Amino acid sequence: MLRAQGLDGLEREVAMRKRLQAGLAAGLGLALAGVLSTGPASAVDCRSRWLGETETAICQDANLSRTEDQVVRRIGGLSRRLSYGQYLGMRHWHALWGEERGRCSLDRGCLTTTYRTQLRFLDRLQQCLDTTQQRRACFRNTLNVEREALRR
């Protein structure tokens, strides 16, 4: 009887380990799916209680708000056509651009200029994806040029 309990306990432990591994794998899979399905940016939620000065300026100006939505849609469309590495590069670039946009604060002229710069960048990326045989090199060069421009 003691021996039977030992095997039964071992079987339970093995079964529990398998369930734990399956649960971890499922959790990691869901987390990865969530990361891959989210777009690189989200439009400003003007109903939020915690808007900064830049977001407030965007929400108060219909043109800036429309441009923000347009940028988000374009980035979403481009991100579906990119490899994972390119997608991460674009996310990093977009985060740097977001910091630059945040420095504009309430200055609508500055915000308009940063949006115009971002739309030109997205146009160049679109050209890389549509026309160039050397997509990877074109994409990398475009990101590097823009990254250097943001650092200055």
Residue 103 contacts residue 150 (beta carbons within 8 Å)? no
Q: What's the chain's average pLDDT?
A: 76
pLDDT of residue 97: 87
Measure Cα distances from 4 to 11, 13, 122 in Å.
Answer: 11, 14, 68
Task: Spell out the domain ranges in the chain.
Answer: 38-151
- Least confident residue range of 15-19, 37-41, 92-96: 37-41
pTM above 0.85, yes or no: no
- Least confident residue range of 73-77, 87-91, 107-111: 87-91
pLDDT of residue 50: 85
pLDDT of residue 110: 93
95-147 pLDDT, tens digit per residue, is 888 888 999 888 999 999 999 989 988 988 888 888 766 766 777 777 776 66
Between 37 and 106, the more confident residue is: 106
Q: Please, which pLDDT band fits residue 69 given cuts at 50, 70 and 90?
A: very high
